Structure 1
Amino acid sequence: MPHRSAYVCLSCRVSFKHSEPRTYRCPGCRREMLLAGDAFEAPPQRDRDAWRVVSVLLHAGLDFRQDCCGCGPGYRPRTLREVRERLAHARRTGTPLARALATP
């Protein structure tokens, strides 16, 4: 079975799996979709806070790709509170944002 990765539209809060890596457009708004990775599990469409967390992670350069051993992408914050804590830690210590978000 071909490797399938999730592509997301943050505006419409939808996710689609595709096996061919290329640029995809959202069928709803026609905006370019972002590659989220093969281990991405979309939150419910009505859960705005969870989609805000996904937005912060993707815009920080993190994704949800499987590790080489197939054990998942590693730690990712799941709530806005965890994101705020990680952002405060990054500001306080000077840690790069992507590293702070990926550190438990």
Structure 2
Amino acid sequence: MPHRFAHVCLDCRISLKLARYDERGGERGHRCPRCREALVCAGDAFAAPPRRDVDAWRVVGALLAAGVDFRQACCGCGPGYRPRTLREVRERTERARRTGEPLGRALRTPQAARVPMAKVA
């Protein structure tokens, strides 16, 4: 049985466990059963938020758009840190913009650096 990965439709807020590759090793092009748009591979360690939690799905969308997925680490201990709130995503996005750090790396960093406040004269 082929290894299965979570594939998500961000518009419909659904997640399906599907085989990522076909028998010849080619990437499969899965489609959402509701809207027929292309599904995005989220990884084998993805746990979908509840469908009604729109903010959590926005976080998932921001992570996937930045190239951050939810694959198991080689030791099987999970994908590592991922932000859970829009505030955490905003903090790390701002940090990446200010420092020039790649967005994907900033989103995987557990502790966002504090942005110094401007002095008021």
TM class by shorter chain equals over 0.9
Q: Percent identity?
A: 70
CA RMSD of aligned residues (A): 1.1
1:62-103 Cα offsets, whole Å, 9 max, x none, are 100001111111111000010011011111111110010011
Q: Tell me, in whole angstroms, the C-alpha distance in 1 between the residues paired with 2:31 and 2:70.
A: 19
The answer to which structure, 1 or 2, has the higher relative contact order (CA under 8 A, 6+ apart) is 1
TM-superposed deviation, 1:20 = 4.3
TM-score (norm 1): 0.95
Go from structure 1 to structure 2 and tell me whether the alpha carbon gap of 1:69 and 1:29 turns closer, same or farther (over 3 Å shift): same
Q: Structure 1 pair 20/87, CA: closer, same or farther in 2 (3 Å)?
A: closer
Query: 1:25 is matched with which residue?
Result: 31
Q: Deviating runs (4+, > 3 A) in structure 1?
A: none
1:41 to 44, 47, 64: 47
Bigger Rg over Cα: 2
Tell me the TM-score normalised to structure 2 length.
0.82
Q: Residue 15 of structure 1 corresponds to which residue in structure 2?
A: 15
Q: Distance in 2 between matches of 1:43 and 1:23?
A: 23
Residues in 2 aligned to 1:45 and 1:32: alpha-carbon distance in whole angstroms:
18
